Structure 1
Amino acid sequence: MTKVTRRGFAAGLGLAGASALAAPAIAQGKKELRMLMAWPKNFPGLGTSADRFAQRVNTLSDGSISVKVFGAGEIVSPFEVLDAVASGAGDITHDTSYYWLGKDPAFVYFAVVPFGLTADEHMTWLKFGGGQELWDKLGAQHGVKPLAVLNTGAQMGGWFKEEINSADDLQGKKVRYPGIGGQMLSELGAIPTNIPGGELFTALQSGTIDGLEWVAPWNDLAFGFHRVAKHYYYPGFHEMGHSLSSYINLDVWNDMSELEQAIIQNAADAEYSVGLAEFNARNNAALSQLVNEHGVELHQWPEDIVSKMQEILPRVMADHAAKSEMATEVAASWTEFRDQQRAWGNVTDYINAGLKKG
């Protein structure tokens, strides 16, 4: 990767006072990190989790490190946050790694893959399956240090204005489905596009898109998609456990002491767990509200769509993994871990199924 200079990137973005954004603010021994988010500030779940992470860093460091959170568009657009941080126009992102597929296909494995890892499995891969080491290698190629800071858990299949009864109903439908899930839907005749979260309601309302997936009931209710679409699908087989990321400018990370790095890492680990718990709690209540108060029709995905997606997944993933050396290496690790971990998962699922019946 050709490294973009901090001054050059900031000038290219047309940022006012770019020279003031060249490095973390340091005053009286205190560091202030500027977090650039890919979503609106204070948005339930995604934005509020970022705020909680920032507060945890401040608390654990006894105020010696603070994180100032900027929402999408305050400094750069959602799809520019990684480049901005890598160049020094910010210090840390709050985003999803599958936004960076265009930089290297390997990034998607650190967010979510269709029929892939659950939230617990993803963290297990990072911590004990070699995933973090590979992620660090990938991040270094792009001038950043990666951290997992949140997982939304299982997501929903998305919203449609018209009911989807079979794969044939997807023909020509314009849908907001990022990542590999969108690529797979395109093979069923849909037309996927990637649109930032803050623009989704308007795009659905205006007819720019016919359907979309965002996150899950808690976030979807907040965005008001039920006001323009009434058909809500599950399960979110494309996102069984979506991990969100923070990428720290590599120079900023390397300039930190071991204690400072440990504070950031532990704050991220804690928020991953707490954020997941909050999503699980809020989603159930929000889904009940959508169905019982707003007349949303809850549908299970038609069987032919699920079976076709499962059928094409191995080929799509193989093609994807072959697109870069890094993707090939990461895919091999991810796949080996998934297959081994599923052996344990099958045992625990069997036990849990028996307990539920009892």
Structure 2
Amino acid sequence: MTRLIVAAGGGGDAVAAAMLHAALYGDEDQAVILTYAWDRLLIDPIPGPRGADNFTGLEPITRSVQSVPATAEPIAPAGSTLPRLAAELPHTFALLDPHHGVEGVTRQLEELIDHLTPASIDLLDVGGDILAHGDEPTLKSPLADALTLAACCQVNAHIRLLVAGPGLDGEVPPDDLRPLFGPLVHSFTAQDVESVGSVLEWHPSEATAMLAATARGARGICEIRDAGFAVPLTDEGPTVHEVDLDDAISRNTLARAIMTTATLDEAEAYSREICGFSEIDYERNKAAWLTEQPPTKLDPDDVLSRLDQFQREARARGVTHTTFRHITEALGLPGNQRDHLRTLLIENRPHQYAALLWELPSESEQQAR
């Protein structure tokens, strides 16, 4: 029995898909997870998603769909977490390639469904930005989700849309999402996290880390992204809700506009027109800026000193937790230093490493140190 799970935005959604499969389907045959190779600049220095021609060692599933096995490799300078995910998780990761627009994604879905005849098809989004109108001031990455939503609405098969961790991506407020929620499908527990716990120790996804952290009991305010957006960690964090697919497409203006696009460039142009920006443009601009920055070497004493200052200021803002990605950005370090920084902090302040996040010490704790 095969289950097909479409990771709406790629990246952390693919990890959450593995956690969802373990929670809902247990010891059944493992899933096929259809996902983008779109790891942002922390992993991949090239803006935008990767296509099949950016890898060696892919294995064909259908005419338009290839899997990314553990032995596959991104062609330098591209980077991807997918081969490592394939090595550490028992699922098949099928590459979703959006370079032929929604028409191409729809074709991939149709071929995969015809080939697999899956027992179920779930479209999974962590956070809920797949339900964005397109004009939300906090919206940062609408394009990937809009592409998958638009394709899923055109496939002649029953697809269940699931939103996990409402608001944890910091893009659409939970209050805006709740009226769209149907049945509660699941609430993740600490036991559910065990299936992907080792992956989340290295994977850079902030939203999925917070999803897992709330399942393990983390509560408070978590600061994320380069801009330091504050995300509440609440009892709602580990929940998974079903949403009517028709309601989602009626709400998502961008998804409706790109239904017949045949190229990624065409879909991106609609994003600029409807949302006022393209997330790939943001990556292009940031990548250009990063290439101009001088190489940085971690000075442990300097880093820990600046960390203390950051923590004092963040605590004053009411922040209780943050992510290693945000600390990296806040300290002005390049993304490729994230793993080194994480190791340094955990070695020196192990008591602050809490449920995949970094817990900030209280004012009294900082004074005591």
Interval of TM-score (by shorter of Structure 1 and Structure 2): under 0.3
TM-score, structure 2 as length reference: 0.25
Highest RCO, 1 vs 2 (Cα 8 Å, sep ≥ 6) = 1
Select the structure that is richer in helix.
1
TM-score, structure 1 as length reference: 0.26
